[in-house]
Amino acid sequence: MDLIQKLQPQIEKIKTISHRLGFEMSCDLEVANLCAIVARGCHGNSLELGTGTGLSTLFLAEVLGAGRLDTVDVNEE
């Protein structure tokens, strides 16, 4: 499963926003894809700690289907 190509337009938007905000801590695309593969196998709810600008969130949300994704970040911005 390779979501990188499928999600490319959204990825570019997130990268643009991250750059504008000066946010440089996004995960690698391959890591986000791997997280999505693992989450898909869980068949349910997921919790993401450290949302950042939502790059890995995008990948997780893509595979969860009817599951629930909760995200938590220490920075309110």
- Asked if 63 contacts 36 with a C-beta cutoff of 8 angstroms, the reply is yes
66 band by pLDDT with thresholds 50, 70 and 90 = confident
3 band by pLDDT with thresholds 50, 70 and 90 = very high
Which residues touch 45 (CB under 8 Å, ≥6 apart)?
Answer: 64, 67, 68, 69, 70
Does pTM surpass 0.85?
yes
The residue-averaged pLDDT of 43-72 equals 91
**pLDDT, tens digit (0-9, with 9 covering 90-100), for 9-51:** 999 999 999 999 999 988 899 999 999 999 888 878 899 999 9
Which residues touch 10 (CB under 8 Å, ≥6 apart)?
Answer: 58
